[in-house]
Amino acid sequence: AGSDEIRIALIGCGGRGTGAAMQAIKNAAGAKVKLVAMADAFKNRLELAHKSIQAQCPDQVDVPEERRFVGLNAYQKAIECDVDMVLLCSPPGFRPDQFEAAVEAGRHVFMEKPVATDAPGVRRVLATNEKAKQKQLLVAVGHHLRHEIKHRESIDRIRSGDIGDVMFMRAYFNSGGVWVMPRKQDQTEMEHQTRNWYYFTWAGGDHIVEQHVHDLDVCNWIMDGPPVEARGAGGRQFRKGPQYGEIFDHFSIEFTYANGAKMFSYCRHIPNCWNSFSQDAHGTKGKIHIEGHGTANIMVDGAKPVAIPRGPDGHQLEHDDLFAALLEGRPYNEGDYGASSTMTAILGRMAAYSGKIISYEDGLNSQVDLKPKAMTWDADTPVKPEDDGTYACAMPGVTNVL
């Protein structure tokens, strides 16, 4: 390989992994990126991703059979290849193991959000992130909104005092829901839960963690850190049947920050309802409304409203920024805020599942470890189906989250 070539491995070859590999290859920083290794739990997912990336960028893909790894522990083999950087795009429950292995091996990391699904996982990510800093490894986390122009300008204006002191924020991720992978015959329980990962808390975190974390991260960015406490409610009204695993379909959480400011968070996965992916900040002198993937509107009291268009997609910008730092030899670490925003989402889930008021500190110190005891296809799973194939969900007032 030429000395200026950056060799990457893709771990987790689903929809997001395929996109992330393309965005890394097409980075605008001018880094010459080559995809040289791939790993996925399932061969069909890996082959599909390989075909798609190869078709779009044939000269920047060199993944022969011997560097295509399949299985739950395939990630280790991809990390061991001669690569500079790994893209960790598997379901979030696998992230702490994969991040630890990547940093141990001295690889730069791009990892998707959320970075874990439980508090022990967040603590492992925080500890590993410290090691990454000591080793001068770059760590990027897929909070693409942090890289979008309208978000950066909005937060700059809030910091400059344009809307005064922030009193409260509103965060929404309400949609009709996402894909489902109903059970197929001959699957072990572990294979089913890994394929249908969105619906199992150990694997996906529940939708407040997997999806709404984007909005919670923006509010933490505005407040320059995570909240100190959460209380709220949630449940499953629409999700009935074995294919929906154990997760909720709606959450409504009130977060409190150290200065007393509030964040009112709502996320829902129910079709035919009012939908929104947006964040709002209300200050003593005005307010800002940011459409997740649209325009930001700044309304300062007594002044003409200002609209800031979205600009380029943050999924590309986050790779442009990462590779620019790598080429310039600059430190680059998004791991701490990535971990605290994941923990914020887990805290909201804890408050709804338990029905209790939970402090950030207690949540972060929770000993409830959701991870399966072994990563094999015949492993015992953390949750098991009832006789009719459905899964029990959390029960406020009963479920222990600490």
Ligand X SMILES: O=C1CO[C@H](CO)[C@@H](O)[C@@H]1O
> Rounded to an integer, what distance in angstroms lies between the CA atom of residue 198 and that of residue 179?
8
CB nearer ligand X, residue 107 or residue 212: 212
CB nearer ligand NDP, residue 283 or residue 335: 335
User: DSSP secondary structure string, 6-64?
Assistant: EEEEEE--SHHHHHHHHHHHT-TT--EEEEEEEEESSHHHHHHHHHHHHHH-GGGB---
Contacting ligand NDP within 150-169 (CB under 6 A): none
CB nearer ligand NDP, residue 197 or residue 323: 197
Name the segment binding ligand NDP (CB under 6 A); options: 189-197, 238-246, 266-274, 376-384.
Answer: 189-197
CB 128 within 8 A of CB 88: no
> Rounded to an integer, what distance in angstroms lies between the CA atom of residue 368 and that of residue 364?
10
> Rounded to an integer, what distance in angstroms lies between the CA atom of residue 208 and that of residue 235?
12
Among 97, 162, 210, 254, indicate the residue that binds ligand X (CB under 6 A). 210
Q: C-alpha distances in angstroms, 40 versus 37, 77, 205, 206, 289? A: 11, 11, 20, 22, 39
Shortest Cβ distance from residue 321 to ligand X (Å)? 18
> Rounded to an integer, what distance in angstroms lies between the CA atom of residue 42 and that of residue 94?
14
Contacting ligand X within 214-253 (CB under 6 A): 214
- Residue 194's binding partner out of ligand NDP, ligand X, none, with CB under 5 to 8 Å set by partner kind: ligand NDP
Shortest Cβ distance from residue 114 to ligand NDP (Å)? 6
Q: Which helix (H) or strand (E) holds 170?
A: strand 166-175
Name the segment binding ligand NDP (CB under 6 A); options: 90-98, 225-233, 266-274, 292-300.
Answer: 90-98
Among 7, 83, 92, 282, indicate the residue that binds ligand NDP (CB under 6 A). 92
Beta bridge partners, 281, equal 169, 288
Among 6, 8, 14, 234, indicate the residue that binds ligand NDP (CB under 6 A). 14
| Structure-block tokens of residue 196 | 């249908």
Among 1, 127, 178, 392, indicate the residue that binds ligand X (CB under 6 A). 178
Name the segment binding ligand NDP (CB under 6 A); options: 2-10, 87-95, 269-277, 320-328.
Answer: 87-95
Contact between 247 and ligand NDP by CB under 6 A: the answer reads no
CB nearer ligand NDP, residue 46 or residue 163: 46
Contact between 392 and ligand X by CB under 6 A: the answer reads no
Residue 264 backbone dihedrals phi, psi, to 5 degrees: -100, 115
Relative to beta strand 32-40, strand 68-70 is: parallel
Contact between 118 and ligand X by CB under 6 A: the answer reads no
Among 121, 142, 372, 382, indicate the residue that binds ligand NDP (CB under 6 A). 142
Beta bridge partners, 174, equal 268, 276
Beta bridge partners, 297, equal 289, 307
Binding residues for ligand X, rule: CB under 6 A, are: 178, 210-211, 214
